[in-house]
Amino acid sequence: MPDRRISALAHRTPLQAGDGALSLAERPQVAMRGLRVDAKAANRALKKTKGLALPETPNTSRHTEGVHILWLGPDEWLFLGEVDAVHALRDRLGDGLAQIHHQLLDVRDQNAVIALSGKRAREALMKLTTLDLHPGVFRPGDVAGSLFGRATATLHLLETYDPERDPEFLLIVRRSYADYLWCVLARAGREFGLPDQTPKAGEIMRP
Amino acid sequence: MTEQPFRMARGGFIDRKRRVTFRFDGRSFSGYEGDTLASALLAAGEHMVARSFKYHRPRGILGSGSEDPAALVQVGSGLAATEPNVRVTEQEIYEGLEVHPQNCWPSLKYDIGVVNDLFSAFLPAGFYYKTFMGPPGSWGVFESFIRKAAGLGLCPQEPDPDDYESLNRHCDVLVCGGGPAGLMAALTAARSGARVILAEETARLGGQLLSSDPEHLRVDGLAPAEWVEKIDAELRGFEEAMVLTRTTVCGYYADNFVALWERVSDHVAPGERDPVVPRQRLWRIRAKRVVLATGAIERPLVFHGNDRPGVMLARAARTYANRYGVLPGRKAVLFTNNDQAWRTAVTLHDAGADVPAIVDVRHEVRGSLLDQAASRNITVHLGTVVTGSSGRHRLRDVTVRALDGSGGVTGGETRIACDLLAVSGGLTPNVALFSQSRGRLVYDDALAAFRPGQSWQKEVSVGACNGTMSLEDSLSEATCRTVDVMKEVGLKAKPLKVPSISGSEFSSGAISALWEVPSGLPAKKVRAFVDLQSDVAAKDLRLAVAEGYDSVEHAKRYTTVGMGTDQGKTSSMNAFGVLSQARGVTMTELGVTTYRQPYKPVTFGALAGQHVGKLFQPRRTTPMHDWHVANGAVFDPVGDWLRPWVYRREGETHEDALMRECRAARESCAVLDASTLGKIDVRGPDAREFLNRVYTNAWSKIRSGQCRYGLMLGEDGMVMDDGVTACISDDHFHMTTTTGGAARVLGWLEDYLQTEWPDLKVYLTSVTEQWAVASICGPESGKLVAALCDGVDADPETFPFMSWKETAVDGVPARIFRVSFTGELSFEINVPADYGLWLWERIMETGAAHGIVPYGTEAMHLLRAEKGFIIVGQDTDGTVTPIDLRMGRIVKKKGDFIGKRSLFRSDTARANRKQLVGLLTDDPDVVLREGAHLIATSSEPAPPVPMLGHVTSSYMSPNIGRSIALALVQSGGERMGERLYATRADGPPVPVTVTETDFLAQREGADA
């Protein structure tokens, strides 16, 4: 049922700067699960579940079996990946945690995932966030929740990225803020060649 | 005469191959690329460029950079892209630049406003305050006159057409100032591998090195500019070093957060600017350490007639000659109290000017200075001062007299013809940023100025801004202190070899402070200005002290000294000097005024950055938004959300549409986009206990598949939020909150879990946007739901009110809640948000056979009022308890909950509080005003009017067939059937009857 699902940014097409310095695209196929659980208890319970340890270092992530496990808080993680991989992991996770108090939720529709990549990606993002995105500071696998322009989002530098190549960032944002964030990111990339994007507008407002 | 008669044959960092023409005051001028407006105008011999703020006195070019107080102009034409109060000393020229003088009419040279000067005796210090405090109405009389006569440039009248941008950076070291000390510091840091940002205010690195005599000064054997270029080139080679020119460090805030203001394209003709690059940028820097290398500012001497065009700071005169290749005068007199200024006389003489005299207030100066003057046949007047000047729009001559040794002048007056008077009262360390960082200043007698003392933040001052005036010392200090700073941030740095200096001209020399130069004139006749922008004379400061404004902060505000757009860069130190003498206290006792951000005026555009226009604020929209737009929705902003308010069909008025939507909801079926409703997934073995504690009612017995309405109170017992929570399974609940309260409620509940009840095993996660929600309402809604959903029996018997079912809509998983905010049969269908639009379209398609009508928030408000349901925030205002709402039935007696204890406070428990009731007007067509006050009498008594309450919601109800209202009324529950009156501004009070709140039930009662 492909045309039934309409992702938050389905009305936008991927953008690319002429020289590949920057590109912007939605990742509508990414599935997401939110997990809240006590870290120690969970990792004890998951010991038998191969490869399924939750990262306990703040603002980091782990990549396992095609799924990125993002640390969001001391007792909160986000699982993010292709639908099949996330589903497979969810089932194993559910089994592993069955005996302990936890909350595992589908948050795929709750969020939009925007990928920003290219050699100017860090610079473009630093127009919107006060996070230090210097390559020596914000490294592959790092995660941070912050304000981007006027929208709260989670920033993730894919750990699969090769430092020799250009970084690929994911921004995970509540779907109702996605269009704003898309446009403000395009504005940040204007200098590097991204075309201007106008937010949805023009509604008739009540007097 | 050539068009640039004062341009020297060679020298200066200008591109003589690129001639630039511009217009000023209606005349055409030319200069070269690299010129500022000031240097180009001086090359043409134009000194007078402005009129002063208050007295409209002619103002010339005093400085050569951001310190200049009064050489302000309006740049650009038109109503949008025009900028007031631009310093001619900073604006670089470009082809076609349009510049207009400001605060003068009809022209710069013939200005009517100059009459103010004749009345200056009537515009003394504290003039504003005196009129405020004077006879009633006197400010009103003066205001219109003052507003017209006093002023600066004109504000743009239309939206700013330019783009701006703010951006963030972190660094190990931020170096403020690209002069010799700043360059040395930046290079020391860069070589250690640090992340360095170097910000230079002007277009070029080099600072005072560019103002020094290129024939004379050698740095490591190189001409100053060559040395600067060498350092610059090396700096730019470091990947981690960033050099920003045309960038002012404009604000130093807490925790080494520093704002930089970059003029990216102000020096380029508008038509040639890169359209994808902003006009200006605001850099927001978080620096581990800050190195301040902001140099020193020369201060003028305060003497009678010191504000005439042609009077210029000595260093500025040197800058024009060496940096811009412009001779600021052909016949130049130097007036000084210190050594370094003597260099100006030498420079101007060697550049071809006639220097008839050096006037030095000191009785003795070093022999080497005298030798330099003697070898050039310059007459030196020691122990002598300038006592006056003449010339209408330009200096013609000065008079000098000898000091008498007791604060006055003596002997005959010598008149010296000149077209330039270079003045120097000494160098003041530029401590503005240090002071903004909350560092403490100390007075230094040797400098006769304040310099940095104890630091508050993690910064160091190096070079002239630290009071280190000699070039050698400055370079050495810069590299050594930067090495220390690098160690603090964990980097290894080595001090650079300090370059060898020959022909240095930076020594400040023994300064002899003379805060106000005697003139020998009667005090009344002396016009010796301290602040050239705000027209504050030394006598104004003395008057302030005489009138009791002893504190330096009070005297500043009373006289407005240093309060102009220049922030007192050249005037503050002299003002402190005059005030300390007037009060007979030392400078340390006097203290200084507070330096505040910004260092100089920053455009609002740069501060707003890219967050303007359509990017000003995010607008949250639901998955169904595009359908609403395409189907005539008028939108209602709710927080950041846009919700359909009403759907207007072709030819309908707002009322028509509203009535149609409301009728459909009760007669056939109607659908509301309820996706914005706050939703929280509550999970854990203690979830029930948690709900028991956060809601006023009991949750222990709710079974999976059931829903329950709950009221949430603040700790004060007042209603904070409400909503329906569904039991998914024994330890799993789906809570809903109001749209506006969603984030606040989640934060509040999470706060309780983490800080008050860490023992409760409950996790909360917002799922507001996971679900798209369509709320279907009306007698036909059951049939529609049955048609839509796979295998759902919507029979009220099997799908009772306040229950929910897990189901699917054509295979798409869905949750259906049989809850109602209208009192009508209703179903809320929740699907994953990506399916929201699909669901909505399917509802409209399937619902067509059932007469489906989409309805908006206005109809929703009206429908719930028909049923007497409250809206938190409309019928409550943070002072309303559940008892006040007469909803005591859902406040449990047993068990604790947030706010419970507050319900027993004497005030919250008293019987005569305002309570929620219904109101029906006698005339069914009269709709009360929301907010109208309720009184007991048919006419309004004389104030104070005893008020019984107010209307909270009021509508014309199509289903009841008359107007209805809800109100909070004192002891309202006991007043059923009572007659009250609702006041209105435009007529006698409206008679109303107090009723129950459920108007639908009342109608049915009447029907039966």
With CA atoms as reference, the chain A residue closest to B285 would be A130
On the question of pLDDT at B671 being above 60, the answer is yes
Contact B614 A103 (CB under 8 A): no
At A116-132, the pLDDT tens digits run 999 999 999 999 999 99
Q: In sequence order, what E strands does B90-177 have?
A: 97-101, 164-176
* Predicted pLDDT at B236: 96
At A85-118, the pLDDT tens digits run 999 988 889 889 999 999 999 999 999 999 999 9
CA angle (B473, B478, B480) in 5-degree steps: 95
* Predicted pLDDT at A1: 46
Cis peptide before A167 (omega within 30 of 0): no
| CB neighbour list of residue B582: distance below 8 Å, 6 or more residues apart | B541, B542, B545, B546
Pick the closest to residue B167 from A133, A84, A32 (CA basis).
A133
Look at the domain A15-28+109-192 and name its fold: Gyrase A; domain 2 (3.30.1360)
Q: Per-residue DSSP letters for B982-1006?
A: EEETTEEEEEEEEE-S-HHHHHHHH
Residues B44 and B27 sit within 8 Å (Cβ to Cβ):
no
Strands A30-37 and A102-106 turn out to be antiparallel
Pick the closest to residue A169 from A134, A125, A131 (CA basis).
A125
With CA atoms as reference, the chain A residue closest to B679 would be A110
Token pair of B409 as six digits? 């002048």
- Determine, yes or no, domain membership for B749: yes
On the question of pLDDT at A82 being above 70, the answer is yes
At A151-206, the pLDDT tens digits run 999 999 997 666 667 889 999 999 999 999 999 999 999 999 999 999 998 899 99
> Which residue carries 């709750």 as its tokens?
A110
| CB neighbour list of residue B460: distance below 8 Å, 6 or more residues apart | B289, B290, B291, B292, B481, B482, B484, B485
Same structural domain, B672 and B792? yes
A&B contacts, CB < 8 Å: 151
**C-alpha to C-alpha distance for A143 and B77, rounded to whole angstroms:** 49
* Predicted pLDDT at B211: 95
The domain in which residue B827 lies consists of 646-676+770-854
* Predicted pLDDT at A20: 82
Contact A6 B837 (CB under 8 A): yes
Provide the Cα torsion B744, B745, B746, B752; round to 10°: 110
Overall average pLDDT of the B923-944 stretch = 95
Residues B420 and B317 sit within 8 Å (Cβ to Cβ):
yes
Instruction: Give me the CATH number covering residue B828.
Output: 3.30.1360.120
Instruction: Give me the CATH number covering residue B487.
Output: 3.50.50.60
- Estimate to the nearest angstrom the gap between the alpha carbon of B342 and the chain centroid: 43
**C-alpha to C-alpha distance for B476 and B880, rounded to whole angstroms:** 70
**C-alpha to C-alpha distance for B532 and B307, rounded to whole angstroms:** 7
Between B45-54, B135-144, B158-167, B840-849, the lowest mean confidence (pLDDT) is in: B135-144
Packed helices B180-191 and B471-488: angle between N→C axes, nearest 10 degrees: 30
Same structural domain, B171 and B276? yes
Contacts of B658 in chain A (CB under 8 A): none
CATH class entry, domain A30-106? alpha beta
- The identity of residue A168, as a single letter, is E
Contacts of A9 in chain B (CB under 8 A): none
**C-alpha to C-alpha distance for B225 and B280, rounded to whole angstroms:** 27
Mean residue pLDDT of chain B comes to 94
Residues B181 and B463 sit within 8 Å (Cβ to Cβ):
yes
Contact A6 B615 (CB under 8 A): no
Same structural domain, B326 and B389? yes
At B845-894, the pLDDT tens digits run 999 999 999 999 999 999 999 999 999 999 999 999 999 999 999 999 99
Domain edges within chain A:
15-28+109-192, 30-106
Contacts of B623 in chain A (CB under 8 A): 6, 8, 175
| Beta pairing partners, B336 | B360, B424
Same structural domain, B830 and B978? no
Residues B971 and B917 sit within 8 Å (Cβ to Cβ):
no
Say how many C-beta atoms besides its own lie within 10 A of residue B793's C-beta.
Answer: 13
Same structural domain, B286 and B375? no
Backbone phi, then psi, for B346, in 5-degree steps? Answer: -65, -50
- Determine, yes or no, domain membership for B590: no
Residues in chain B: 1008
Same structural domain, B832 and B877? no
**C-alpha to C-alpha distance for B929 and B925, rounded to whole angstroms:** 13
On the question of pLDDT at B337 being above 80, the answer is yes
| CB neighbour list of residue A133: distance below 8 Å, 6 or more residues apart | A122, A125, A126
Instruction: Give me the CATH number covering residue B557.
Output: 1.10.10
Cα–Cα distances in angstroms (integers) from residue B37 to residues B7, B65, B313, in the given order: 14, 11, 17
Q: For residue B230, what pLDDT band results from cuts at 50, 70 and 90?
A: very high
Same structural domain, B850 and B868? no
| CB neighbour list of residue A191: distance below 8 Å, 6 or more residues apart | B276, B277, B278
- Determine, yes or no, domain membership for B611: no
> Taking a contact as any Cβ pair under 8 Å apart, which residues of chain B between 124 and 163 contact chain A?
none
- Determine, yes or no, domain membership for B613: no
Q: For residue B147, what pLDDT band results from cuts at 50, 70 and 90?
A: low
Token pair of B139 as six digits? 């400010």
Same structural domain, B345 and B453? no
Indicate the SS3 state at residue B99. strand
Same structural domain, B50 and B101? yes
| CB neighbour list of residue B563: distance below 8 Å, 6 or more residues apart | B534, B556, B557
Same structural domain, B99 and B182? no
Q: Per-residue DSSP letters for B231-247?
A: HHHHHHT-TTEEEESSE
> Which residue carries 């009540």 as its tokens?
A206
Packed helices B552-559 and B572-583: angle between N→C axes, nearest 10 degrees: 120
Contacts of A146 in chain B (CB under 8 A): none
Considering only residues B791 and B149, tell me which one the structure prediction assigns the higher pLDDT: B791
Instruction: Give me the CATH number covering residue B13.
Output: 3.10.20.440
Overall average pLDDT of the B568-596 stretch = 95
Total domains present in chain B:
7
Q: B168 touching A, CB under 8 A? A: yes
Say how many C-beta atoms besides its own lie within 10 A of residue B93's C-beta.
Answer: 27
Residues B493 and B189 sit within 8 Å (Cβ to Cβ):
yes
Instruction: Give me the CATH number covering residue B728.
Output: 3.30.70.1400
- Determine, yes or no, domain membership for B512: no
Strands B812-818 and B803-809 turn out to be antiparallel
* Predicted pLDDT at B1008: 61
- The identity of residue B280, as a single letter, is Q
Say how many C-beta atoms besides its own lie within 10 A of residue B770's C-beta.
Answer: 25
Token pair of B520 as six digits? 């020998």
Which of A5, A126, A177 is nearest residue B168 as measured by Cβ atoms? Answer: A126
Residues B316 and B64 sit within 8 Å (Cβ to Cβ):
yes
Find the DSSP H helices in B723-835: 742-751, 781-788
Backbone phi, then psi, for B129, in 5-degree steps? Answer: -65, -40
Same structural domain, B106 and B218? no
| CB neighbour list of residue B303: distance below 8 Å, 6 or more residues apart | B335, B385, B386, B387, B388, B516, B517, B519, B528
**C-alpha to C-alpha distance for A193 and A20, rounded to whole angstroms:** 9
Closest CA of chain A from B952, distance in Å: 20
* Predicted pLDDT at B1: 41
Closest CA of chain A from B610, distance in Å: 8
* Predicted pLDDT at A69: 96
* Predicted pLDDT at B505: 66
Same structural domain, B255 and B183? yes
> Taking a contact as any Cβ pair under 8 Å apart, which residues of chain B between 787 and 826 contact chain A?
811-812
